[in-house]
Homo-oligomer: A and B are copies of this chain.
Amino acid sequence: MVKQVRAARTRQALVLAAAEAFAHDGYARASLPAISKRAGVSAGALHFHFPSKDALAGEIETVAARRVEELAECCRSAGGSALEVLVAAIRRLVVTFATDPVVRAGFALSGDLSRDGGAAVLDWWHDWVRDVVGQAQRTGELTDGVSPEGVAVAVVAATVGFEALGSRDRDWLSKERMVEFWACLLPRLSSVPGRDPGAIEGEALGDRDPESSLAGL
C-alpha cells in the first residue's frame, strides 16, 4: 500500500515536472533527463512509469481533460443561468492556465505541431461550450438571433488565444483582460431584461473566489 502511494506520488511529480518543462521549453525541446531531474526522480523511475516523452504528453492530456471537465461541471453544478455558468467556466479556465501547468500544457499540446497527437481537450471543450450555449438558447437567455454556434466559435477561439498569448505574456491571463473580454461580448449574448451583464461578470469573476471552489480538483 505504501508502495502504491509512493508510485502514485512519483507519477504525479513526473506529470507536473513534464508539464512545467513543456510549458517552459515547448514539447520538442523538453528533455526526459531534465524532466526526471525536475521531478527529483531517477531516469529509471521515469522510464518505469512512462516509456517515452509521448507517453508523458498523453498522460498530461488525459489529466488536463479530466481537470477541465471537473472545473466545467463544478461551475455547472454551482447553479446559476447557463450564461453565468459559461462566464464562470471560462474565467476559471483562464485562472487555471495561470496556476496549473498541467491544464495549460494539455491545451498547448493539442496545438503543438511538434507532436503528433489528438486535440482531445479542445474537442471536448468545444462540445461543452456548444452544449451550455445551446442550453442558454433553450431557456431563452440568449438574445434572439444570436447563433449558438457563433457564440461557441467566438468563445472557443478566444480561449485558445488566451492560452497561447498567455504563454508569452501573463497579462493575458489576468482578471482585467477577462473582464474586458466579457464586457465586450456578454451584453450581445444576454437577453435577460434589466440584468446588468456587469453583475454576471462580478459574480463570476470576483465576488466569489474562483480558486476556492477548485481546491479539490
Contact = CB atoms under 8 A, between A and B. Distances in A.
Interface in A156-182: 156-162, 164-165, 167-169, 172, 177, 180-181
Contact of A154 (B147, B153, B164, B181): B181
Contacts of A181: 150, 153-154, 157
Interface residues of A, number: 46
Given A161-B164, A164-B161, A165-B160, A26 B153 contact: no
A158 B154 contact: yes
Contact of A156 (B25, B153, B165): B165
Nearest to A182: B150
A112 interface: yes
A147 B186 CA distance: 13
Interface stretch (A42-50, A68-76, A114-122, A204-212): A114-122
Nearest to A146: B184
Contacts of A158: 154, 157-158, 161
A26 B114 contact: yes
Interface string A132-168: 0000000000000011011101101111111011011
Interface string A15-39: 0000000111111110000000000
A189 B154 CA distance: 14
Interface in A106-128: 108, 110-115, 119, 122
A185 B164 CA distance: 21
A55 interface: no
A153 B167 contact: no
A180 B149 contact: yes
The 10 A-B residue pairs with the shortest CB-CB distance, nearest first, are: A28-B28, A26-B114, A157-B161, A188-B188, A26-B113, A161-B161, A150-B184, A160-B161, A150-B180, A157-B158
